[in-house]
Amino acid sequence: MCETCTEHRFEHIRSLKENWDSYGAGPIDKRAISAAHQIIQAMKREPRIMPTSVGGILLSWDTGLSEIGDVDLWIEADGTLEEH
Ligand SMILES: [Zn+2]
């Protein structure tokens, strides 16, 4: 365990209180923490890898979360990520 590992970061984020940034930020919502955790777990698995019609590649991770669905990375022909 190090201060930057996943479990440490989630523990830190869960502990954030009102005004944690000194600019009036609220605590981080449990639903966001849960979704982030599940997305990280999903992305540790192999993605589906598909060619795209414009000469690129789509990497797609199924999160198993109905609200989120897949996490998709669209890679352009030139190797950059497509902005959505
Ligand atoms: Zn750690």
The whole domain housing 59 covers: 3-82
Residue 51 has pLDDT above 90, yes or no: yes
Phi/psi at 3 (nearest 5 deg)? -70, -15
Instruction: State which residues have CB under 5 angstroms from ligand 1, the bound ion.
Output: 1-2, 5, 8
pLDDT value of position 84: 62
Residue 75 has pLDDT above 90, yes or no: yes
| 80 CA to centre of ligand 1 in angstroms | 32
If one counts the domains in the chain, the total is: 1
Dihedral through CA 20, CA 23, CA 28, CA 29, nearest 10?
140
pLDDT digits (tens, 9 = 90+) for 7-49: 999 999 999 999 999 999 999 999 999 999 999 999 999 999 9
pLDDT value of position 2: 83
User: What angle (nearest 5°) sits at the alpha carbon of residue 44, between those of residues 41 and 45?
Assistant: 105
| 58 CA to centre of ligand 1 in angstroms | 32
User: What angle (nearest 5°) sits at the alpha carbon of residue 38, between those of residues 7 and 70?
Assistant: 145
| Residue 42 to residue 62: CA distance in whole angstroms | 7
pLDDT value of position 3: 79
